[in-house]
Amino acid sequence: MNTIVVKLIAQRLALGILLLLAVSVLIFAGTQILPGDVAQSILGQSATPEALANLRREMGLNDPAWQRYLSWLGGLLQGDLGTALSNGQDIADSLGGRVANTFFLAFWTAVVAVPLAILLGLVAVRYQNRWPDKVISGSTLTAISLPEFFIGYLLIYLFAVKLGWLPSVSTVYDGMPFIDRMRAIALPGATLTLIILAHMMRMTRAAILNVMQSAYIETAELKGLGGLKIIWRHAFPNSVAPVVNVVMLNLAFLVVGVVVVEVIFVYPGMGQYLIDHVAKRDVPVVQACGLIFAAVYIGLNIVADVVSILSNPRLRHPK
């Protein structure tokens, strides 16, 4: 690996760290300007002014905002996500199993969605402007136009209410058999697959079609190579960088965008945990979840940038 590549990767990593730091400032500032009073939400409407004042002092709410931010950031750097205000539990302990559940759902969705999107993109390119391409493009365009909650409720109606094949509530627990767990996440996984499949397929198709305009593709055609062989051996390998970018962006959305889907299916993941504590105005939980989502999103984008650098000679040798 030459120095140019190392420098480019180091720049991406440094930019990611700075961006995450900036996001932490925005998350903290955003939670501070939320309407309402944390102490009031904990003690209730019947709390006396003296009790409210004592609780604010105990939680450090009377300290300057910059001091509370630095204290929060210092705890994060030591691996301390804080304590939930609503129940006094350690946030890191409460999030452990839920983060695992969210990544379990995202992983198996990606296992299905990514190969299927690439395969459909290749088929659409192979039969460009013919009926397979039109059917695939039309179907995915329809799917990408529908909001996730509509797709989720539609799948519940069809497969849980009408057919009774799958559960409408995705209940999972520690020690649950793998087959039962997969059955429980079938509907939320299908919802997420339909959401990200359309965008990945369309961008894969566009990236391969762009490569198909290159001179070496024309040379391969003149040599008499078949259309599918040209696409698979010549066009697709040279469109890996944009395809990887699209896949990583959608995987980032997959992890960050599970909030709505987890709420629809009452799935015990990080998104459901976040929504439960937003209603309680539990600021430390909101901050911790927001930062974890941001870290995942930024991290996957950095991976996409690094893969693009390693797979693109023009980025490895910019001059």
The answer to whether residue 227 is domain-embedded is yes
Question: Distance between CA atoms of 214 and 195, rounded to whole angstroms?
Answer: 31
The answer to whether residue 48 is domain-embedded is no
Domain count, the chain: 1
Higher pLDDT, residue 193 or 241: 193
Q: Is the pLDDT of residue 18 over 90?
A: yes
The answer to whether residue 75 is domain-embedded is no
Apex 269 CA angle, 179 and 96, nearest 5: 100
User: In this structure, what are the phi and psi dihedrals at residue 83, rounded to the nearest 5 degrees?
Assistant: -120, 135
Q: What is the pLDDT of residue 140?
A: 79
Q: Is the pLDDT of residue 294 over 80?
A: yes
Question: Distance between CA atoms of 164 and 155, rounded to whole angstroms?
Answer: 11
Mean model confidence pLDDT for the chain: 79
Question: Distance between CA atoms of 85 and 239, rounded to whole angstroms?
Answer: 49
The answer to whether residue 180 is domain-embedded is yes
Question: Distance between CA atoms of 282 and 167, rounded to whole angstroms?
Answer: 31
Residue 225: C-alpha distances to residues 217, 222, 253 (Å) = 10, 8, 38
Domain of 201, CATH number, reads: 1.10.3720.10
The answer to whether residue 206 is domain-embedded is yes
Helices in 167-239 by DSSP H: which ranges? 178-184, 186-211, 215-222, 227-230
Residue range of the domain that includes 169? 91-284
Q: What is the pLDDT of residue 117?
A: 86
The answer to whether residue 129 is domain-embedded is yes
Query: Average pLDDT in the 164-173 region?
Result: 85
Structure-block tokens of residue 186: 């079938």
Asked if 260 and 198 count as a contact pair (C-beta separation under 8 A), the reply is no
Confidence class of residue 62 from pLDDT cuts 50, 70 and 90?
low
Query: Average pLDDT in the 1-14 region?
Result: 80
Q: Is the pLDDT of residue 166 over 80?
A: yes
Instruction: Report pLDDT digits (tens) over 211-249.
Output: 766 666 666 666 666 566 666 665 666 666 677 777 777
Residue 289: C-alpha distances to residues 82, 94, 269 (Å) = 11, 11, 11
> Does the pTM exceed 0.85?
no
Q: Quickly tell me which residue has 């040599």 as its tokens.
A: 223
Query: Average pLDDT in the 157-166 region?
Result: 88
The answer to whether residue 299 is domain-embedded is no
Confidence class of residue 210 from pLDDT cuts 50, 70 and 90?
confident
Lowest mean pLDDT among 108-117, 178-187, 200-209, 295-304: 200-209
The answer to whether residue 10 is domain-embedded is no
